[in-house]
Each structure stands twice: as C-alpha cells, then as structure tokens.
Chains A and B, each alone.
Chain A
Amino acid sequence: MNILKFIESFTNEGVIQSLQSKGSRRDSLSQFGKIGANTALAAVPLVSMFFTQKANAASSAFLASAADTPISALQLALTLEYLEDEFYQIALDTNGLIPDAEKDIIAQISQHEAAHVSFLMGALGGDAPAKPEFDFTANGTFDTFDNYQTFLALSQAFEDTGVRAYKGQAANLMSNGDLLTAALQIHSVEARHASRIRRLRGQKGWIVGNSIGNMPDIPTVHQIYDGEENTIQGGYNTTTAQATNGPALTGTGTTESFDEPISGTLATEIASVFFAV
C-alpha cells in the first residue's frame, strides 16, 4: 500500500487552507517549495486555482438556497449521497482496487447509497439539485482509485462526515415527521457504514476524541473530526460519570459515546473539495 504518496500529497497545509482564504496563492507556492516533490510542484497552479475558485463557486452556488428548511436539508443530504454513490460505483468498477474478501462489504454500502439517492430524489421531486460533477482525486491530489488504503480513508471521511451532516440537519426536518424519520433512518445506516469502514482500517468503529485516526494531518480532515471531543451534553459533563460496578470509565469513552453534528455549511465545504474543477 502506497500510503506514503497519500500522506505526501497533504504535507502542504497551505493548499487546503487556501480553501478558506482567497488570494493565498503566493503562500501556497512558498510552502510548496518545502516539499520539493516534482508532482507537487507541477500541480501548484492548478491545485491552487481549484481550491480558491472552484470550491468557493460550488459552495456559494449550493449555499445560496440553504436556509435551514426541510428542503435545504434534503438537498444537502442528496448532494452528499450523490458523492458517496458515485464514489462507491467507480470503486466497484475499478478492477483490482477492492480485495475480493471485502467486495461484498463495499457493494452493500454502495447499494445503500444508490438507494438513498433514489429515495431523496423522489422526496425532493422538482427541488432535487442536479448531480455535481465529482473528482475524487481532488485534481490529482489523491490516488483514490489506484490505492485501496486511500479509497478506504476517503470512505471513512465521507461516512463520518455524512453521520455528522445528517445529525446537523435533524432539527431542520422537525416540521415534517415522515421526512425526519427517514433522515434518521439514513443517518443510522451511514453510522453502520462508518463503523465498518473504520474497523476495516484498523480503527475503532467510534470516533475517539477529535482523533483523525491515521488520516492525513491536514485541515480538511481535522474539519471532519473537530468538535467530536465535546464532553458537555445538555450541560452535563460526561467525564464526571462514574461506573458503579466494573472497569473505570475513561476519558476517551466519554467522547466516543456521543457523536457530534456539523453545520450544512461545513458539510458542503468538506464535500466541495471533491467537486470537479
């Protein structure tokens, strides 16, 4: 497994940071100098443009209609499902990517994501957004479909992001009990997926603090997990919980026991890294 290439492609945090701060191309260029890898150097102008222009355009186009309504909640959900669905379809169609022993697992997940797309398209009808064009390599940044470990890492990123995003939209669906229930039913399926993929990667099925769990140490990955370290639930400090009988409750156990939401804005920002240029 060529995890080195995967990690190397992320050693320049400036690339991703430019997603948030326009006009940082000069900074990115100077930081790229530290890497010295030919591939990275060659990719500088394109990658820089991608993260500054494309992501912003995609985000703003989507967020223009995001108003915390049931429709906007489902539109975000469908966008994320489009992404997951195509991601797994391509993987399953790529000869030699998925080991035989794990093909059934990926196929099962893929089947669910395709069903989610159909379900949400039906629910949204004329309000369904068009499917974005995706680039799962993020313009050559990832060897997504050439390296199973990269594929699994992105899979974990998408599933854990999905769990957080659906959770963040639940309140926006309270006015429609049927849609809220359906969203919750998808949410828990995504969590089942996330647990399985994490365990395939040798991680716990649950999120430990805000640990990025053997993922590239870059801002976008931290965005997926930041906030998961929360220990205050409804004003109750979960670290004060005491076991009355049995092994002690550990600090990580308290963060593992509650998943945390993310906003629609952040979910879109994370997903937009994989919108095609």
Chain B
Amino acid sequence: MKKTKVEVRQVATGLASRRSFLKISGLTLAGTGLLLAGCSDDDDNTGTNPDPNMLPGIVNGTFDLGGGDAGILTYAYALEQLEADFYTRVVNSNTFGSTFNAEEQSVLTDLYRHEVIHREFFKAALTGALANTEGVVLPNLEFSYDSVNFSNRLSVLNTAKALEDTGVSAYNGAGRYITTPEYLLIAGKIVSVEARHASAIRDLINPGSVDFAGNDVVDANGLDKAQKPSQIIPIVSSLDFIQTAFTAMYLP
C-alpha cells in the first residue's frame, strides 16, 4: 500500500534560478554544461535520456535525480537514505536485542552507523554544493517496509543482504559515468565498505559458507556485479520500500 507521494515544492525552472556550479568543498564540477533550461517537457519518464547537463530538481511535479555527476551523487544519496533508514529501524526495533545474537547486533549497529554517516555525508555535500540553488537537493524520502518482519532474524538479514549487494552493484555500475576524479574516489571509498558489509551479512546468514563472495554475485572472471542506474532503480523499486516518487530520466 503506497502512501501518497511526498509533495515537493516546485521551484521556478527559469534559467537563472537553476544555474549553478556543483561544488563539494571547493571541488568545482568540471565542464561547462551545468545550465538547466527547464526544457524537459518533451521528454518521457522512461529514464532513457541521459543528459549530463540536467541538474536534480522538480520536473513536471516530481523530483528527478538529474544527470551527470550531480545526478549520480543524488542517486547515491537516495540509495544511502534507504540503507540508513532501514538500519535505523533495525536497531530501534523493540525486539532487536532478542532477535539477534551479540555478534549480529554488533554488525548491524556498525552498519547503521556507517550508512547514516554516508547519508549525512551526501546530504551535507549536496546541500553545501547547491546552497544557492533552490530545490535541487533531493528531499528526505519516505519509507515503509511492509514485507519486512523486524522481529525475524532472517527477514532482516536477507533484506540487508539485498540492500548491500544492490549498493555494491550500483556504485560499481555508476563509476564509469562519473567525470570528476574526486567524486569517483569518494564513490570508491564507499563501495568497498558496502562490499565489506555484504560479505559480513552473507556470512551471518550462512556461516562458514562461500556466500560472502558467492557465485551468485561474483562471476567466472572474479568480477562483482555492476549495474547502471536504469537497471538498479527498478530493482530498488521492486523492493517497495521507497514511498516517495522520483524519476531518473537523465541518468544512464
């Protein structure tokens, strides 16, 4: 049961108000194409129009993640919001202490901390970067977890596994679309931590097995999964956790 999508204030789409340089602590987004001209009316919503020049923001009443580096970072922010919210609910559950043993509690609490920090990092980075441009920072998304039983160990761990594996694949697949080396490095710093998480969660589910880097995620070349945003977003949507509508029309 979907909630009504969260209303996000529509901002003016005039050229002047959407013009911005995405900066994270003095890192200025390379390139000249950061003008957003509010010319998306003719585009459909299928996400097949990658456009590195589109900033995140409201398009036709719904928040779009944007394109280019700003879009990739906003996409990562959305995924981190989901992970952080999920683990926050896990550790705050009344049954947390009785559902998980000490090691599992320790791992899940660490993951909660890491993901909240990732979320806060992206929030601060994007907010700071776009301080003078209204409406381009992804709002706080709303979540619900109807399919998850937070008092059931395997329900929680399997959800964690899905989120971590998806996160790894998402960062791996997004890397090639990042044009600024500093942002690529930041993504690299985060993805290996997500992979460390996935390994630990998978081992908690099936102790002593080879699942930590199982053949379901690592192929015959020894390569982990890598999926682009247009492949990841339907997977995340199918989990039905994110209740706030958004589009990703300009990401590959």
Q: Does A pair with B?
A: yes
Tell me the A residues contacting B by CB distance below 8 Å. Answer: 101-102, 104-105, 107-109, 111-116, 118-119, 163, 166-167, 170-171, 174, 177-178, 180-182, 184-196, 199, 204-206, 233-236, 238, 241-243, 245-247, 249-250, 253-254, 256-261
Task: Say yes or no: B196 contacts A257, CB within 8 Å.
Answer: no
Instruction: Verify A191–B195 contact, CB threshold 8 A.
Output: yes
Add 7 more A-B contacts to A112-B222, A167-B189, A177-B176 (CB < 8 A).
Answer: A191-B196, A192-B196, A196-B213, A199-B203, A205-B200, A246-B88, A246-B116
Q: Which B-chain residue is minimally distant from A204 (CB atoms)?
A: B110
Task: Report A246 CB to chain B, min CB distance, Å.
Answer: 5
Assess whether B124 is interfacial by the CB under 8 Å rule. Answer: yes
Closest-by-CB residue of B relative to A189 is: B224
By size class, the interface of chain B is 35 or more
B95-129 contacts to A (CB < 8 Å):
107, 109-110, 112-118, 120-121, 124-125, 128
Specify which of B128, B179, B199 is in contact with A196 (CB 8 Å cutoff): B199
- Residues on the A chain within 8 Å of B148, using CB: none
B60-90 vs A, Cβ < 8 Å mask (1 yes, 0 no)? 0000000000000000000000000000100
Cβ A195 vs Cβ B196 within 8 A: yes
Q: Is the CB of B191 within 8 A of A188?
A: yes
Q: Which of B21-29, B31-39, B42-50, B154-162 contacts A (4 or more CB under 8 A)?
A: B21-29
Q: How far is the CA of A257 from the CA of B120 in the complex (A)?
A: 12
Chain B residues closer than 8 Å to A101, beta-carbon distance: 208
Query: Do A163 and B203 touch across chains, with their CB atoms under 8 A apart?
Result: no
30 contacts between A and B (CB under 8 A): A104-B208, A119-B222, A163-B192, A170-B185, A184-B188, A185-B224, A185-B225, A188-B172, A189-B213, A189-B223, A190-B192, A191-B192, A192-B198, A192-B199, A192-B224, A195-B212, A199-B199, A199-B203, A206-B196, A233-B186, A234-B182, A236-B125, A236-B128, A243-B88, A243-B113, A245-B92, A249-B117, A253-B110, A254-B117, A258-B190
Chain B residues near A (Cβ < 8 Å): 24-27, 88, 91-92, 107, 109-110, 112-118, 120-121, 124-125, 128, 168, 171-173, 175-176, 178-179, 181-186, 188-200, 203, 208-210, 212-213, 218, 220-226
* Residues in B whose Cβ lies below 8 Å from that of A180: 175-176
**Which residue among B124, B128, B192, B213 has the maximum number of chain A CB atoms within 10 Å of its CB?**
B192
Known contacts: A112-B222, A186-B222, A246-B116. The answer to whether A206 contacts B110 by CB under 8 A is yes
Question: Complex formed: what's the CA distance from A250 to B114 in Å?
Answer: 10
Residue of A at shortest CB range from B113? A253
Chain B contacts for A192, CB-based, 8 A = 195-196, 198-199, 212-213, 218, 224
Could you tell me if B221 and A257 are in contact, using CB atoms closer than 8 angstroms?
no
Shortest CB-to-CB span from A253 to chain B, Å, is 4
Distance of A264 from chain B, by nearest CB (Å):
14
Contact residues in B for A204 (Cβ distance below 8 Å): 110
- Do A195 and B117 touch across chains, with their CB atoms under 8 A apart? no
Kindly report which residue of chain A lies nearest to residue B221, judged by CB atoms: A119
> Contacts of A178 on B, CB cut-off 8 Å?
176
Min C-beta distance of B7 to chain A, whole Å: 21
Instruction: Point out the residues of chain A lying under 8 angstroms from B115, CB to CB.
Output: 257
A interface secondary structure, majority? helix
In the bound complex, how far is the Cα of B109 from the Cα of A147, in angstroms?
33
Which among B112, B191, B194, B198 is the interface contact of A246 at CB below 8 angstroms? Answer: B112
Question: When A and B form their complex, which 5 residue pairs have the shortest distance between CB atoms, in order from nearest?
Answer: A235-B25, A115-B222, A253-B113, A191-B195, A177-B176
List, in ascending order, chain B residues with CB within 8 A of A115's CB: 220-223
Given the interface contacts A235-B25, A241-B120, does A105 sit within 8 Å of B226 by beta carbon? Answer: no
Check B195 against A188 for contact (C-beta < 8 Å).
Answer: yes
Docked-complex contact B175 and A108, CB < 8 angstroms: no
**Nearest Cβ distance between residue A105 and chain B, in whole angstroms?**
6
B222 to A: closest C-beta gap in Å: 3
Please state if A119 and B223 are interface contacts (CB–CB under 8 Å): yes
Interface centre among A104, A234, A242, A245 (most CB of B within 10 A): A234
**Residues in B neighbouring A163, C-beta threshold 8 A:** 192
A166 to B226, CA, bound (A): 16
- Inter-chain CA distance A268–B6, complex, in Å, is 51
Kindly identify which residue among B88, B172, B194 contacts A245, using a CB–CB cutoff of 8 Å.
B88
Contact: A189 with B222, CB < 8 Å?
A: yes
Cβ–Cβ < 8 Å partners of A238 in chain B:
117, 120-121
Give the distance in Å from the alpha carbon of A236 to the alpha carbon of B73 in the complex: 15
Q: Which residues of A contact B208 (CB under 8 A)?
A: 101-102, 104-105
Residue among B116, B185, B199, B222 making CB contact with A191, cutoff 8 Å: B199
